[in-house]
Chains A and B, each alone.
Chain A
């Protein structure tokens, strides 16, 4: 993880220049070819995870791109029960600290207001990489999110996952800011 720092900081600077630091943090962490993907997501408990200190400097508190309200997940659901989309790094399904925070929030919302509802977690990827590999990667992301919220008490029986790979981008665009918004897991209340 330490290896990531320099490119991350450089990337952060660039993004900050563009968006004035308002919402660009998820766009920061560039892929590092030297780091093999964690094969199976080790689910950490809800307490701050061990890589917090490594990432905290780079990860500012708000993580969502401004327009990230997933339209599908908001239908038939009261405002207070809206579930937020979570984001991932390129070619990774690891849960970043900001991702864990949002997942914990979603788990809380589900337990309080959506306990009996069926919820589908959709895994998505950015446009880079092969369509086929991204289908499998998107599934891995959805699965990582599912596992995490089940450790927080959400009933697995009410949850399902699906991957759309790179077939349904949230935003169009060919730059890191678009890519960062597309590497995501969305929660759809059925």
Chain B
């Protein structure tokens, strides 16, 4: 048995663990939360300091705790072995400390090239569950850690994680509303726009490589598209009046948005280059903020056709309009979940804004936030999390919570006001 374990360590086939993913039944009713220990990285032939690699267990612990699937802690090593391999006897202290799972990592460095090897151990059964090796530079350590957190989540749940995805948002930290992008956990924030104008409502293309957004940079609120890898921006729609709340269709072929070129704000679809507008709503009320269902057949949107803004649904050709939200007098910001089973939105009441979720048939309407003002929910691509902007006693920022409202955590680190976060695709 011992030999087999050691052999597996060096094989590292990506698919080898998938058959075992059912062994941890985290969702089984009554089962306690599994405990995951993240060991300090083992530095082998690396000039990196122990401090500079501490982020590895920190990232893994943060990601796995946020996932809600395990309770994770960073722990000092019980074993001072010279490799990430564990002998059968090495599991005992981890088991005695109550852990079910253990992550160990080993860093080797050749010149600028850094390789990180991760292993996930099943402490109870004393075996390696999965292992991965990533190659890059020292600046990739966060990304490698997120990648392995995705792998742990895949092993535990069988689903692809979203820990390497990013969030675009609007911030006023320079005095103007500019668009920024950051890792989902708030690290590596980067400004995208620097036009000293008003920029708002970023939305990622389905491939995650570009965003569309509305900007006043040429005077009128027009819709622009820009790449995340360079600064080139192109106009998508500069029709007279509003060109706002653009939303990519899931297949990337169309953009839904609100235009007021024909009078008041109405929902249209455009080809992805901005041509060929097709009007979906026809009435004298305000219609805006379209959000596609994941299969592209339906669109949720905001309309005040009954007097106050409420969330409505329609087929993506504009037919079969029906009201979704029936409680509350001011419901806005709908976003359809990637699995299609929920629509998140924000409701304004006398207590300010809070995030809710509801099934597309109007049932299971649920309040997810209660503290402060919470607006503009957006789903992670795996549907596990919702990000939103919040102003609350624990600080203003972009927050992330699980889709059931648990685990609300501020992920932005800078001071300032944050608006309209949106989550990239995988």
B is a partner of A: yes
Residues of chain A whose beta carbon lies under 8 Å from any beta carbon of chain B = 33, 35-37, 39-40, 91, 128-133, 135-137, 139-140, 143, 161-164, 167
Q: Which of A37, A129, A161, A164 has the most B CB atoms < 10 Å from its CB? A: A37
A contact residues around B260 at 8 Å (CB) = 136, 139
A contact residues around B419 at 8 Å (CB) = 131
Question: Within the assembled complex, what's the spacing in Å between the Cα atoms of A177 and B309?
Answer: 24
Which residues in window 316-372 of B have CB below 8 A to A? 329-330, 332-333, 346, 348, 353
Q: Does B18 contact A (CB under 8 A)?
A: no
**Within the complex, which residue of A133, A140, A162 is in contact with B332, where a contact is CB–CB below 8 Å?**
A133
Residues of chain B whose beta carbon lies under 8 Å from any beta carbon of chain A = 177, 198, 200-201, 216, 219-221, 241-242, 244-245, 258, 260, 264-265, 283-286, 288-289, 302, 304-309, 329-330, 332-333, 346, 348, 353, 375-376, 419-420
A contact residues around B242 at 8 Å (CB) = 135-136, 139, 163
Task: Say yes or no: A139 contacts B264, CB within 8 Å.
Answer: yes
**Within the complex, which residue of B201, B286, B348, B420 is in contact with A140, where a contact is CB–CB below 8 Å?**
B286
B contact residues around A163 at 8 Å (CB) = 221, 242
The DSSP consensus for interface residues of chain A is mixed
Task: Say yes or no: B307 contacts A132, CB within 8 Å.
Answer: no
A contact residues around B244 at 8 Å (CB) = 132, 135-136
Question: Within the assembled complex, what's the spacing in Å between the Cα atoms of A131 and B419?
Answer: 9
Q: Which of A132, A139, A164 has the most B CB atoms < 10 Å from its CB? A: A132
Task: Say yes or no: A39 contacts B285, CB within 8 Å.
Answer: yes
A sample of 30 inter-chain contacts (CB < 8 A) reads A35-B307, A39-B284, A40-B264, A40-B284, A128-B348, A129-B348, A130-B302, A130-B309, A130-B353, A130-B375, A131-B200, A131-B420, A132-B245, A132-B288, A132-B302, A133-B302, A135-B221, A135-B265, A136-B244, A136-B260, A136-B286, A139-B241, A139-B242, A139-B260, A139-B265, A140-B286, A143-B264, A161-B241, A162-B219, A167-B177
Question: Within the assembled complex, what's the spacing in Å between the Cα atoms of A36 and B309?
Answer: 10
Question: Within the assembled complex, what's the spacing in Å between the Cα atoms of A37 and B348?
Answer: 17
Task: Say yes or no: B289 contacts A132, CB within 8 Å.
Answer: yes
**Within the complex, which residue of B219, B305, B306, B333 is in contact with A130, where a contact is CB–CB below 8 Å?**
B333
| CB-nearest residue of chain A to B333 | A130
Question: Within the assembled complex, what's the spacing in Å between the Cα atoms of A35 and B308?
Answer: 9
B contact residues around A135 at 8 Å (CB) = 221, 242, 244, 265, 288
Q: Which of A133, A137, A167 has the most B CB atoms < 10 Å from its CB? A: A133
| CB-nearest residue of chain A to B309 | A133
B contact residues around A133 at 8 Å (CB) = 286, 288-289, 302, 304, 309, 332
Task: Say yes or no: B348 contacts A36, CB within 8 Å.
Answer: no
Task: Say yes or no: A37 contacts B307, CB within 8 Å.
Answer: yes
The 3 closest A-B pairs by CB, nearest first: A36-B307, A136-B265, A136-B286
| CB-nearest residue of chain A to B245 | A132
- Min Cβ gap B72→A in Å is 36
Question: Within the assembled complex, what's the spacing in Å between the Cα atoms of A188 and B46?
Answer: 64
B contact residues around A36 at 8 Å (CB) = 306-308
Question: Within the assembled complex, what's the spacing in Å between the Cα atoms of A44 and B201?
Answer: 36
Task: Say yes or no: B346 contacts A136, CB within 8 Å.
Answer: no
Task: Say yes or no: B346 contacts A130, CB within 8 Å.
Answer: yes
